[in-house]
Chain A
Amino acid sequence: MANTEYLLQMKNIVKTFPGVRALDGAAITVKPGEVVALCGENGAGKSTLMKCLYGSYHADEGEIIYMGQRVDFKTPDEGKEAGIIMVFQELSLIRDLTVAENMFLGSLPHKGFAVDWKKLNDDANAALDELNSSVRGTDYVRDLPISQQQMVEIARGVALGAKILILDEPTSSLTEKEVAALFEIIRKLKAQGVGIIYISHKMDEIFEICDSAVVMRDGKFTGQFVLKDITLDTLIQAMIGRTMDNYFTKANGVVGEEVLKVEGLSVPGVLKDVSFNVRKGEVVGFYGLVGAGRSETMEAIFGVRPYSAGTITLKGEQVKFKGSKEAVKKGIGFVTEDRKQTGLLLPKSCRENMALAALPNIKKGMFVDEDKTLEIYHKYEKIMDIKSPSPEQPIVLLSGGNQQKVIIGKWLCMGPDLVILDEPTRGIDIGAKSEIHKLVASLAEDGLAVIVISSEMPEIMGVSNRIYTMAAGRITAELSGDEITEENLMRNIMVGA
């Protein structure tokens, strides 16, 4: 029978998407007034589990018992109605409306058929006062700093009568003082019996504010621990301990001279004092959580993100690119994270996509030398084993793995010295993944310097000769050889920012 000790019990939740089992027996319990940390790697299924809870997704299997009753919310609205409030990491406030309107969006109080502004503002201020916030209901959201916007989101939860408040990485944009204020609010809500699910990667915060922690790994529940009974090590052990797959191929080439040296690279609010180097013939991995600054680092090097301090030395020559065109000219290839948005001309053919970066070099008079593009395509089709019925096949019709090969080929035909691969196997099925991994290794063995960014721990461990870990815009460690262990990686990406 329903256990009334718990505010919420989620048991054995399964959720599959085409080709992926995102949740596979996930679980969590929350008691009234309990703060439960939800931890796990990127992609462990934390947000999917929360979406199943508040009604954005619908679980395939398992049961959700909320306040003694089995529930199954069809829409986020139903979840909200029942008192389950999600505070998103990316704030979902509307900038040009007032704080009060944002708090009661979609359910403004009325007097007759006119909006009752006085009651609206009074109700908003009451909720804000309860949180000791200096924000007023009549303030415009656009005038508030991020931290106070977050306060508004939490106040919205309070005003809507939240029984369970889900906070997703709530401190990622807060200063120390603001974090302290947030914890004060959490304690206050706790005392009122509100259950809080606290999604975070920051171990120090988890141990400070949370009562228990649920650890997820690959969509599975690994355990719910009472935090005062365990140590940091126990928690980290629970998060890792996966059996390594052996389909990885590590580059085994001759490491040569330094190709890229970055010193003290800083971008206001994003990167702080980032220094590293990459040599000919090696694969250097960048590991960290989403938002740690890995892609941003590469963008700064590639000339598409302005930086305020630091030097970048490419093949012994100090460079500062004003745009990607210069970077390409100097021998950098950049395979971006989001293929469809920034990598491909989807309706165009494989041949045209591959020749894209090389176009300025293969002109015949004013026009593109079409024969040359075909020549290039055939060369790399063979090298990389691209499976396409014809060079004229629109690239949108190829599988993710083959699309990725075309993009890599696009840069290889430029004859680069350095290739940057940002999440090269995202959305690619497992067989094609290992082909990409082999390709990465062979690139390095052929004498290129290769940088790989990945959020998948087995991948980064499998392909890299050396790994830099990043957290909150800084490099936290450089690991090579035996130092590359799951525990070391996990520890270094979660150091309190």
Chain B
Amino acid sequence: MKKVTSFLTNNIAITILILMIIIATILDRSFLAPANLFNVFNQNSIKGIMAIGMTFLILNGYFDMSLCTLVSLAAALSCGLQNQIGIAGAVLVSLLVGALVGIINGFLVAYVGINGFVVTLATMLGCRGLAYIYPNEKSIVAPNMSFLKFGIGKLGPISYISILYLILMFIAWFVLRFTNHGRNTYAAGGNAAASANAGIDVKRTIFINFVICGVGSALGGILYAASLGSSSPALGWPDMHMLVIAACVLGGAKLSGGYGNLWFSMVGVMILGIVINIMSITGAAPWVSTFCTGAIMIAVLIADKLITDARNAEALKAAEEAFKSRS
């Protein structure tokens, strides 16, 4: 029993997920129907893909506000460029634009040394402008039907996008766990000075993670466009970046850096998804789910703080014992 409690307090994301599933089932039995569960996963996999990039950045101790408008910009480009350069070309250009915004963010934060919040706030506004200027403030319908076909296509109960999500999760997991860049991300986020002392190129690590997050955001925009068959300048605005960051935080990632887990970020995304799903199957107004998301986050953060405080108190007690034993 003690082991179970310690597992649940150490992995608070899992605890919340279990609680959410129980609550959802009580509210409506049909929640547990396999079709509905696949539905929840499919509906949230794009957010999950963006949370991968954001997790890299949060592990490094930063976050990216420009995600939300990069989504609309990339969506517009991926639909609007199809006539000129084909689907592949349009997707590639959109991803490159995501990379470019990531390069700007990363360069200004890592090498120029400007605060990450304000830099990405500025690029967020820049992208928002472009997301309206490029399509003349209009929605663009993707001319090529195979774009939409991919976006809504399924293999059995699971969507193509969800399959892509899982593949990307495994790649990202491998990168974080087994490559220098992945380990450097954890180290630099945990203690930048100590990492630099150990010969890690902290600036480059930060830079790369901004680029990863930028590309991930653009991919999210492209996939939204694909699943809708069109783009709209307001896509992602105003809170997509907040929801993605919230998912990572619900998954236990610390904004101070160094601590977090990719799979738990996935759990965080799904917790947010379950909230929305419950609201829709019980017929509640959509903004109720947003309110509940906020309330759940506060509850989780308080629980996490209490657990951390209790642990610190224990450590302090041990230190006091040590101090006593010497005098």
Contacts and interface: CB of A to CB of B under 8 A. Distances in A.
A222 B315 CA distance: 42
A134 interface: no
B179 A114 contact: yes
A362 interface: no
Given A96-B258, A146-B319, A176-B326, A76 B197 contact: yes
A246 interface: no
A97 B327 contact: no
A473 B323 contact: yes
Question: What is the size category of the interface that chain B forms with chain A?
Answer: 20 to 34
A173 B322 CA distance: 8
Contacts of A101: 183, 186-187
B149 interface: no
Contact of A92 (B179, B197, B323): B197
Contact of B320 (A77, A80, A177, A268): A268
Given A105-B194, A472-B327, A474-B327, A115 B180 contact: yes
Contacts of B200: 105-106
A57 to B, nearest CB: 14
A105 B187 contact: yes
Interface string B260-292: 000000000000000000000000000000000
B86 interface: no
Nearest to A147: B322
A406 to B, nearest CB: 30
Interface in B189-221: 190-191, 193-195, 197-200
Contacts of A146: 319
B259 interface: yes
Interface in A443-478: 472-474
Contact of B179 (A107, A115, A178, A269): A115
A177 B174 CA distance: 42
A106 B179 contact: no
A96 B180 CA distance: 16
A439 interface: no
A94 B190 contact: yes
A175 B258 contact: no
B177 A107 contact: no
A177 B321 CA distance: 13
Given A106-B199, A268-B320, A96 B186 contact: yes
A95 interface: yes
Contacts of A472: 326-327
Q: B178, B186, B195, B320 — which one has the most chain A CB atoms within 10 A of its CB?
A: B178
A108 interface: yes
A442 to B, nearest CB: 39
A474 B195 CA distance: 36
B307 interface: no
Nearest to A308: B320
A115 B178 contact: yes
B323 to A, nearest CB: 5
A176 B325 contact: yes
Contacts of A175: 322, 325-326
Interface residues of A, number: 35
A497 B178 contact: no
Interface string A68-88: 000000001100100000000
B258 A115 contact: no
A124 B316 CA distance: 28
A95 B198 contact: no
A317 to B, nearest CB: 30
Contacts of B23: none
A494 to B, nearest CB: 16
A407 B315 CA distance: 37
A145 interface: yes
Nearest to B324: A272
A269 B199 contact: no
A115 B194 contact: no
Contacts of A178: 322
A113 interface: yes
Nearest to A497: B326
A23 B318 CA distance: 40
**Most chain B beta-carbon contacts within 10 A, residue among A106, A110, A176, A272:** A106
A93 interface: yes
Nearest to B325: A175
Contacts of A106: 187, 195, 198-200
B183 A115 contact: yes
B326 A77 contact: no
B194 A107 contact: no
Interface in A89-131: 92-97, 101, 105-108, 110, 113-115, 117
A415 to B, nearest CB: 38
Contacts of B322: 145, 147, 173-175, 178, 269
A92 B326 contact: no
B32 to A, nearest CB: 35
B180 A108 contact: yes
A176 B178 CA distance: 40
Given A95-B258, A145-B318, A105 B198 contact: yes
A114 B178 contact: yes
A80 B200 CA distance: 14
B190 A95 contact: yes
Contacts of B315: 145
A147 B322 CA distance: 10
A107 B199 contact: yes
Interface in B153-196: 174, 177-180, 183, 186-187, 190-191, 193-195
Nearest to A179: B326
Interface string A155-169: 000000000000000
Nearest to B319: A269
Contacts of A114: 174, 178-179
Contacts of B318: 145
Contacts of B325: 175-177
Given A97-B190, A101-B187, A105-B195, A269 B180 contact: no
Given A95-B190, A173-B322, 15 more contacts: A77-B197, A77-B199, A93-B194, A97-B183, A101-B186, A110-B180, A115-B179, A117-B178, A145-B318, A145-B322, A173-B319, A174-B322, A268-B319, A272-B327, A472-B326
11 contacts: A80-B199, A94-B194, A97-B186, A101-B186, A107-B198, A113-B180, A114-B178, A115-B178, A145-B315, A175-B326, A176-B325
Interface of A: 76-77, 80, 92-97, 101, 105-108, 110, 113-115, 117, 145-147, 173-178, 268-269, 272, 472-474, 497
